[in-house]
Amino acid sequence: MKAKDLSRELREGEGEFLKQRRGIVALGLAAAGSMGLIALYQMGILKHLPEPPIPGFDADKVDASDEAYAHLQMGDAFIGLGSYAATMALAAMGSKNRASTQPWIPLALLAKTGADAAQAARLTVDQWTKHKAFCFWCLLAAGATFAALPLAIPEALAALDTVRKKLD
């Protein structure tokens, strides 16, 4: 497919799971926005993460913890930004009929959103069990992550059907 045709199809097209793919991108951007705010804090650009004055919320405690800096010698928000960028790239990649022409992409997207949801669940549990506090921005990103997973399932099922037909 030519780039100009792909551009038009992704921007103006309908059907073939484009609505779900757009939803995954929008949710990924919401999660990435939260990670961006946390990244500003983890680099000292922001001195405090604002959040609602609700008991049990302490983003500063969670996002400044040893655990938040335990991987790759950087704040974990930067890892999250990269991860959300990869998920959004998988959602944006390919034509609207990619489930039949490139079934590996929707299958990879389902695997990635599943891994993202599992990681978000683990980190959410860790916030309370390890820090006895929640980070509002982390919970916002986790919610967007959980919401993206079911959006990836229908296209992945169609892709799986394509793979099965090719194997028969």
pLDDT, tens digit, 9 for 90 and up, residues 101-153: 999 999 999 999 999 999 999 999 999 999 999 999 999 999 999 999 999 99
Query: Could you tell me the fold of the domain covering 31-167?
Result: de novo design (two linked rop proteins) (1.20.1440)
Is the pTM value of this prediction over 0.85?
Answer: yes
Q: What digits encode the pLDDT tens for the residues 70-88?
A: 999 999 999 999 999 999 9
CA atoms of 143 and 122, how far apart (whole Å): 13
Task: Supply 60's token pair.
Answer: 């500063």
> Which residues have C-beta within 8 Å of that of residue 31, sequence separation ≥ 6?
80, 84, 140, 141, 144, 145
Please state the domain extents for the chain: 31-167
